[in-house]
Structure 1
């Protein structure tokens, strides 16, 4: 069963019946007849392959499956924000938000454009505000439309988490974990954690989206990825995010093997470092701020940054072919250092450091599988921290 197959009215009934212990009370709360709710519960039980209630003389006793489903469903319904929203309306609007046009949404869903127009119009009527507006020959989401799309994506994430937990209850280890990987996590932390997790849970799919903090924080907030790994921000970028430190990374100055500053007994001074061209990440990143601070501590004007890049591959090639310098974690270029393509010029003045960790949504309730994945990340982070001491 897929999250898109779940009937929102039936989910409202499950939540109400779980809270009240009575189908008749649930019927009054969600404005459906008791026979309709009974049929809805039976249909949902068949789709899930699990009983949701035990029928007893004193009422309905929720099963473990209902206790898993009800809180997730309640959270999803709260995010959707209106009992008038239907599943087809929500799916049509989310396809429109992803595709950016009714043509693209129709191609994705296989639903006729006229039906999509009608579903989105009915959704806007039910929510009481415009969701889409014309922009030239195309369309764009209104501010409220963009907010609704984000809430719907988070609601969908809750329902997918519920289905994953229910599958585990049936003895089926299935699911998908979506991870946002910032540059520093890709060298050792994430690959080793993924390998360890996959050995124990080979049936679970893992999707890794690479990008900078700016590129990944939106999908994290939207529920498109479950967690983000990399350098933490100070302060935390918003009350809707939670950061968990894992270990401290200390970048060093790197250059090509045979660089004029390489192989000397004494560490280069800040003034000497300033005489060379540098390739560093863009402004707004923690490493760029630390690079600038390095020169400020030496009372030397930072050199001009001719090339900005956060790509380790790009930086590596530039270093190999020129006298550029960079500031990076040795972890990120361990293979290149071992091959002697590049070398460590020296420790960075001022001993800059950055905290590497996990970023999740505030209020995120990981499934058991997601908790095990986080545990694998924490275990690998512990090994990295231990190797640094």
Structure 2
């Protein structure tokens, strides 16, 4: 029986990873040794240890050189991407782990509890990293620490390096015949109504061993974790303009919200004009969201003064309960309150102007390269979106 080792990226030696990539480029240990200034015996030992950790060879040893195996061809681009994020041969894996942990925990004591590493070791690793990179990374804030601007940029790059190596490990394990890893999806409100649950259910049927982690939140809560590599992709309303050149948005379908209120709302059961709807209080997400922008434009295009918005909220569960117990109105996709509409707790009060649509889609980092398993999940979204 094939024994597949359990590997954590923190057990890797970055020098060994650099050596593997150098051999893959040059085809020989001697050329790699000259290129990265490490002795041939040290490289030989390092590659042997790395292959033992992975449980499979990265090279085919031949008389004419070292040829990457299928595992090497998969893993080396991930290593190169990780090293490009780290951007310094002086960084060690211990230092990378320490900064990522302190950035996440906000203190050395919490980072120690989270990783199991001793506080003095974390202090020393971050201090050595500061010297190696010649930049101040953290500063004390009361009982905790905070990252400097340079520290935040460095921590982000380190997290992206970690994500690349974890993706590489997932691909190597799949090569040995066992799927591992996880997909982390940022779920904005509309995605939770139909398309995401359907995609998750379909994916789990075909990939039962893959963990799916769904992180719910608004766009502004999810975009930075996406940039950090903590989230693989986001599904929900797309932004116009785009959040930046590092972000890629892929439309999946168009959604046209409707005006929703309680079943016996005063504006129900007849064609209410926008002027009439403007007389009632509204509950709408905060400024800057596509729904709020469209809601504002809907009234401004008719030169109607904006209604009062005493409550700003993006939680469908909270909005639903407020609507049931008041004369508030809101804009929602019928899919988001399908159960409430069918039960008769809420009602569709009015259609909105035809020009008001939201583009719903997938948001990823521009440089994100999904694993085969992640690509399978993404491939499920397009056909499901056509039926949304």
* TM-score relative to the length of structure 1: 0.97
**In structure 2, distance between residues paired with 1:379 and 1:2:** 35
Aligned counterpart for 1:347 among listed residues 338, 341, 351: 351
Alpha-carbon distance in structure 1 between the residues aligned to 2:88 and 2:208? 39
| Structure 2 unaligned spans of 5+ | 1-6
| Distance (Å, rounded) in 2 between the aligned partners of 1:261 and 1:181 | 32
- For the pair 1:30 / 2:36, whether they are aligned, the reply is yes
Residue 52 of structure 1, aligned match among 58, 73, 95: 58
1:80 aligns with 2:86: yes
Q: In the aligned structure 2, how far is the partner of 1:376 from the partner of 1:7?
A: 37
Give the C-alpha shift of residue 137 in structure 1: 4.0
C-alpha displacement of 1:2: 1.3
SS in 1 for 2:288: coil
Task: Out of 254-263 and 355-364, give the one that drifted further.
Answer: 254-263
> Which string of whole-angstrom CA distances, capped at 9 and with x for unpartnered residues, describes residues 240-286 of structure 1?
0000000000000011111111112xx21111001111111111111
Tell me what 1:292 maps to: 296
Taking the aligned partners of 1:209 and 1:147, their CA distance within structure 2 comes to: 23
Which of these residues, 191, 200, 214, is aligned with residue 197 of structure 2? 191
1:360 aligned residue (361, 364, 378): 364
Q: How does 1:259-298 map to 2 (within 5 A)?
A: 259-264=265-270, 267-298=271-302
Q: Which among 243, 253, 256 is matched to residue 237 of structure 1?
A: 243
CA distance in 1, matches of 2:51, 2:120: 33
Find 1:224's aligned residue among 224, 230, 234.
230
What is the CA–CA distance in structure 1 between the aligned matches of 2:253 and 2:61, rounded to whole Å? Answer: 51
The answer on whether the counterparts of 2:107 and 2:143 sit within 8 Å (CA) in structure 1 is no
Please name the residue that 2:15 is paired with. 9
Report whether the alignment pairs 1:321 with 2:289: no
Q: Distance in 1 between matches of 2:129 and 2:221?
A: 30
Q: What does the per-residue CA deviation read over 1:170-199, in whole Å, with 9 as the maximum and x for residues that have no partner?
A: 011111000000001001110010000000
Counterparts of 1:320 and 1:112 in 2: how far apart (Å)?
A: 53
1:91 to 74, 86, 97: 97
Once residues 113 and 358 of structure 2 are traced to their aligned partners in structure 1, the CA distance between those partners, rounded to angstroms, is 45
Quote the Cα distance in structure 2 between the aligned partners of 1:164 and 1:291: 44
Q: Which residue of the partner structure matches residue 387 of structure 1?
A: none
Whole-angstrom distance in 2 between the partners of 1:109 and 1:215: 25
Gaps of 5+ in 1: 385-389
**Which of 311, 314, 324 is the matching residue for 2:315?**
311
**Paired position in structure 2 for 1:21:** 27
| 1:16-165 alignment runs, 5 A limit | 16-165=22-171
**Inter-partner Cα distance in structure 2 for 1:332 and 1:138:** 41
Q: Is the 8 A contact 2:95 2:129 kept in 1?
A: yes
- Contact 1:220–1:227 (Cα < 8 Å) also in 2: yes
CA distance in 2, matches of 1:84, 1:374: 37
Displacement of 1:350: 4.8
TM-score by length of 2: 0.97
Q: Structure 1: how far apart are the matches of 2:385 and 2:16?
A: 43
Distance of 1:352 and 1:21 partners within structure 2: 58
RMSD: 1.0
- CA distance in 2 between partners of 1:115 and 1:357 (Å): 44
Distance 1:83 1:140 in 2: 25
DSSP 3-state at the match of 1:255: strand
What do residues 270-328 of structure 1 show as CA deviations (whole Å, max 9, x unaligned)?
11001111111111111011111111122210111011100001110011111111111
1:334 to 333, 338, 356: 338
Equivalenced residues, count: 382
